[in-house]
Amino acid sequence: MSIEKLDKQAWHAYFDAVSKRLPGMQAEIDVQSLKIGAQVESQFAPLIGIVYDQKSQILEVVLEGWDHTVPDVAEIWIDHDGVVLKSVKVVDNAGVEQIIRLRSPLALPLTA
């Protein structure tokens, strides 16, 4: 596993490229801060895409039936294993961390 801080100039292009490879993945979103503790924002659900808007400085995570936005983004960290993205940590300017965990859905065996 490798954890990297993404350069702010690369956020928009990075998530555009990543979103093209996300169909079929699931995501869970946790929010953590000293003020509220650790909260599960969304259980694992089908992930539609992740978008960073440079103009409004908002990161949006679009899940099936749920939109999660992070305004005023200060840092983005990615955890990956080679070419497989495992999670994204987004820190806003208030120090609130949003952790987006990714996984592939469980493939069930074929029944006869």
Contact predicate 74/92, CB 8 Å:
yes
Instruction: Examine the pLDDT at 38 and tell me if it is beyond 80.
Output: no
CATH number at residue 40: 2.30.29
Provide the domain limits for residue 39: 2-103
Phi, then psi, of 99 in degrees rounded to 5: -110, 120
Q: How far is CA 85 from CA 4, 34, 68, 102, 108, in A?
A: 11, 27, 19, 7, 22
Give every CB contact of residue 65 below 8 A, 6+ residues apart in sequence.
Answer: 45
**Residue 110: inside a domain:** no
pLDDT on residue 84: 83
> Does 111 reside within a domain?
no
Assigned domain for 94 exists: yes
Give residue 34's pLDDT: 66
Q: What angle do CA 24, 30, 33 make, to 5 degrees?
A: 155
Higher pLDDT, 67 or 32: 67
Asked if residue 29 belongs to a domain, the reply is: yes
Q: Is residue 108 part of a domain?
A: no
User: What is the band of 91 on the pLDDT scale with cuts at 50, 70, 90?
Assistant: very high
Q: Considering the entire predicted model, what is its pTM?
A: 0.85
Per-residue confidence band for 89, with pLDDT thresholds at 50, 70 and 90? very high
Cβ-based neighbour number of residue 98 at 10 Å = 22
Kindly state the tokens that stand for 79. 């955890």
